[in-house]
A and B are shown apart, each in its own frame.
Chain A
């Protein structure tokens, strides 16, 4: 009997403790002085695919910066695993909190759609970023860059590094990866049109299965099997550091130009020692920044369907295609700027 009352007491105490420590945490990332501003402060919920990884931590930096510039409250939160179910339930909470806009990077385009439609019905602006949802479930999609611009930037970097008549290979993740296959298609299209003398030594790309050790192995084999090789694209964030490791071991960086897509943190050591001169990726800080700008503009009615341009703070004038706002060309990382990025 006393045991049970004790139990009751402890449970209640735990709960009260939980409740009272909740609000004591300041609402994430708002500018404290904004209270004095006229009118109601907008609340924007920004949700990555998951929290706690470098890429999305970098988007958070951008999102918070935009929130400060625009004087809006940014709540940046997401699931601890990349699960769409958790995202859906969290968005339900944001609807209950009556946020003015929700900017989400959905883990699955169709499973996220019902709750986003519900949010829109309640008068909340919905933006997707990083990945899209079904188009009818959101107002705008902030697209980091089109596949064509990824392909073009990669090809241009290769030509600058290895010349317009170089012989090259492509290292991909798995042969069925949708993103990579589209990029390779676009690369081939752009090559045929802009650099007809550039030669792909193997029409089938070399697969390294999102496995860094395997990428090192595959790259080492390619260096032996293709003596005339002058350039290599490694187009996943796992393949590029793996390939760089092989190139460094072989000491072949002066005859083979390696580039591709990866995050600066993973590539820093290879750029510092000169194995990789430069590589390409969209800038996640800018992506988070633009997501918040787009959400706020949509709430304030500053960007309507059918617009062709959009002014996003320090990013300047950006292109709008249909209901997609395009961040622009990917960023090229090299010795001069790699230290500015922490992702």
Chain B
């Protein structure tokens, strides 16, 4: 038990995060400021949401490259329904989630029932859904959303006094992110979904013979992933007050990066939602801290890329050298 505190993957990530946080706070002027830290966290919500179902999918040794495009497509559907079809905003949001789920079901159905690798399927749908977003919107953007809708991403839940007369505000969208993470964590650690998912990622044939409904499970995971993309599209649209076809471009890679840094192996078998959360925090804080330290954008991209390569290599090495310890760490 004590050993776990020092050696489990999550605690190592937590130490890395803490070390970074302290280093930035000491060395970078203006970094340690609750107001700014909470404000910047609004921009982690959408990526964080996508990273949770991505953890499951990568744990099955699959991948979903279309999540960013689904966010854009669902966002456009939300925007067009609200502004052009004059549908109530709540209904438009539900439609966005439904559209996301359908898109996810398409990914899952084609990859599991037609037996096409998810990398190929979602690479194709990445272009397809993005294309639909551009086609539906005719490349124009939709804005003029009601304030109550924008509050979802831009609103403040409560005020936090930070001393010296200053105050910070707790962002509303963090509650939504926390909910998605909590549900993901529960499913991964305390339900059959997580057990089946990891078993499937470890060895698909074995999982099949262990009477795990492999194809239905995959279909379900990709559909759920699409639905979460639909939810994320609501928050993404509210964050920028705009629904546009080029929203969330490249966000699939950011979400995958969080999962990889969080210790889920790209070859499948073990998924950790808490690890993914820590991956999100580490990448977010690293990017923010480096920018605050005055580093130019090109250099920040290089450092984050280096972090990814290092963690990916370490993940593989650690997993192959200490499979037993990994099991224990769960």
B39 within 8 Å of A by Cβ? yes
The answer to whether residues A12 and B240 also contact, given A25-B294, A51-B297, A77-B297 and a CB cut-off of 8 A, is no
Assembled-state Cα–Cα distance A232/B319 (Å): 67
A148 within 8 Å of B by Cβ? no
Assembled-state Cα–Cα distance A118/B303 (Å): 29
* Residue of A78, A83, A89, A113 touching B246 (CB-CB under 8 A): A83
* A78: chain B residues within 8 A (beta carbon): 297
* Residue of A18, A52, A114 touching B286 (CB-CB under 8 A): A18
* Residue of A10, A90, A96 touching B314 (CB-CB under 8 A): A10
For residues 1 through 56 of chain A, which have their beta carbon under 8 Å from a beta carbon of chain B?
1, 3-4, 7-8, 10-12, 14-16, 18-23, 25, 27-28, 51-52
Classify chain A's interface size.
35 or more
B23, B154, B292, B294: which has the most chain A beta carbons within 10 Å?
B294
For residues 1 through 41 of chain B, which have their beta carbon under 8 Å from a beta carbon of chain A?
7, 12, 15-16, 19-20, 23-24, 27-28, 30, 33, 35-36, 39-40
- Evaluate contact between A22 and B28: CB separation under 8 angstroms: yes
* A1: chain B residues within 8 A (beta carbon): 7, 322, 325
Q: Determine, out of B180-188, B222-230, B304-312, the stretch whose residues face the partner at the interface.
A: B304-312
Assembled-state Cα–Cα distance A27/B295 (Å): 9
Assembled-state Cα–Cα distance A92/B248 (Å): 18
* A105: chain B residues within 8 A (beta carbon): none
A21, A22, A114: which has the most chain B beta carbons within 10 Å?
A22
The answer to whether residues A22 and B290 also contact, given A3-B317, A8-B15, A114-B154 and a CB cut-off of 8 A, is yes
* A79: chain B residues within 8 A (beta carbon): 297
A166 within 8 Å of B by Cβ? no
B43 closest partner in A (C-beta): A89
* Residue of A3, A21, A96 touching B30 (CB-CB under 8 A): A96
A78 closest partner in B (C-beta): B297
- B interface, by DSSP: helix, strand, loop or mixed? helix
* A90: chain B residues within 8 A (beta carbon): 291, 297
For residues 57 through 111 of chain A, which have their beta carbon under 8 Å from a beta carbon of chain B?
75, 77-80, 83-86, 88-90, 92-93, 95-98, 108, 110-111
* A110: chain B residues within 8 A (beta carbon): 141, 143, 240-242
Assembled-state Cα–Cα distance A89/B283 (Å): 14
* A75: chain B residues within 8 A (beta carbon): 294
A86 closest partner in B (C-beta): B297
- Evaluate contact between B292 and A96: CB separation under 8 angstroms: yes
Assembled-state Cα–Cα distance A29/B210 (Å): 65
Assembled-state Cα–Cα distance A95/B95 (Å): 35
* A77: chain B residues within 8 A (beta carbon): 296-297
- Evaluate contact between B290 and A18: CB separation under 8 angstroms: yes
The answer to whether residues A114 and B240 also contact, given A8-B12, A92-B43 and a CB cut-off of 8 A, is yes
Assembled-state Cα–Cα distance A252/B272 (Å): 69
The answer to whether residues A3 and B321 also contact, given A15-B16, A92-B39, A111-B240 and a CB cut-off of 8 A, is yes
A19, A79, A80, A95: which has the most chain B beta carbons within 10 Å?
A19
Assembled-state Cα–Cα distance A92/B286 (Å): 15
- Closest beta carbon of chain B to A275's beta carbon, Å: 35
Total residue contacts A-B, CB cutoff 8 A: 139
- Evaluate contact between A25 and B43: CB separation under 8 angstroms: no
- Closest beta carbon of chain B to A85's beta carbon, Å: 7
- Evaluate contact between A15 and B247: CB separation under 8 angstroms: no
- Evaluate contact between B318 and A80: CB separation under 8 angstroms: no
* B310: chain A residues within 8 A (beta carbon): 10-11, 14
* B249: chain A residues within 8 A (beta carbon): 83, 85
Assembled-state Cα–Cα distance A25/B294 (Å): 7
- Closest beta carbon of chain B to A93's beta carbon, Å: 5
* B325: chain A residues within 8 A (beta carbon): 1, 4
- Evaluate contact between B293 and A22: CB separation under 8 angstroms: yes
* B240: chain A residues within 8 A (beta carbon): 84-85, 88, 110-111, 114
For residues 139 through 186 of chain B, which have their beta carbon under 8 Å from a beta carbon of chain A?
141, 143, 150, 154
- Evaluate contact between B317 and A22: CB separation under 8 angstroms: no
- Closest beta carbon of chain B to A248's beta carbon, Å: 35
B289 within 8 Å of A by Cβ? yes
Assembled-state Cα–Cα distance A111/B247 (Å): 10
B289 closest partner in A (C-beta): A19
* B301: chain A residues within 8 A (beta carbon): 80
- Evaluate contact between A111 and B242: CB separation under 8 angstroms: yes
Assembled-state Cα–Cα distance A77/B12 (Å): 34
A115 closest partner in B (C-beta): B240
Assembled-state Cα–Cα distance A16/B28 (Å): 12
* Residue of A10, A15, A93 touching B291 (CB-CB under 8 A): A93
- Evaluate contact between A25 and B295: CB separation under 8 angstroms: yes
A77, A96, A113: which has the most chain B beta carbons within 10 Å?
A96
- Evaluate contact between A3 and B322: CB separation under 8 angstroms: yes
- Evaluate contact between B16 and A8: CB separation under 8 angstroms: yes
B265 within 8 Å of A by Cβ? no
* Residue of A23, A51, A113 touching B293 (CB-CB under 8 A): A23
- Evaluate contact between A111 and B244: CB separation under 8 angstroms: yes
The answer to whether residues A3 and B318 also contact, given A12-B16, A12-B19, A28-B296 and a CB cut-off of 8 A, is yes
B288 within 8 Å of A by Cβ? yes
* Residue of B7, B35, B292, B306 touching A93 (CB-CB under 8 A): B292
Question: Can you name 5 extra interface pairs (CB under 8 A) apart from A15-B23, A18-B303, A110-B242?
Answer: A8-B15, A23-B27, A23-B28, A25-B294, A92-B40
Task: Give 16 pairs: A residue, B residue, CB < 8 Å, sorted on A.
Answer: A10-B310, A15-B286, A16-B19, A19-B24, A22-B294, A28-B296, A79-B297, A85-B248, A90-B297, A92-B36, A92-B40, A95-B36, A110-B141, A110-B240, A113-B241, A114-B150
Q: Which residues of B contact A (CB under 8 A)?
A: 7, 12, 15-16, 19-20, 23-24, 27-28, 30, 33, 35-36, 39-40, 43, 141, 143, 150, 154, 239-242, 244, 246-249, 286, 288-299, 301, 303, 306-307, 310-311, 314, 317-318, 321-322, 325
Q: Which residues of A contact B (CB under 8 A)?
A: 1, 3-4, 7-8, 10-12, 14-16, 18-23, 25, 27-28, 51-52, 75, 77-80, 83-86, 88-90, 92-93, 95-98, 108, 110-111, 113-114, 118
Closest 4 CB pairs of A and B: A22-B293, A96-B36, A111-B240, A110-B143
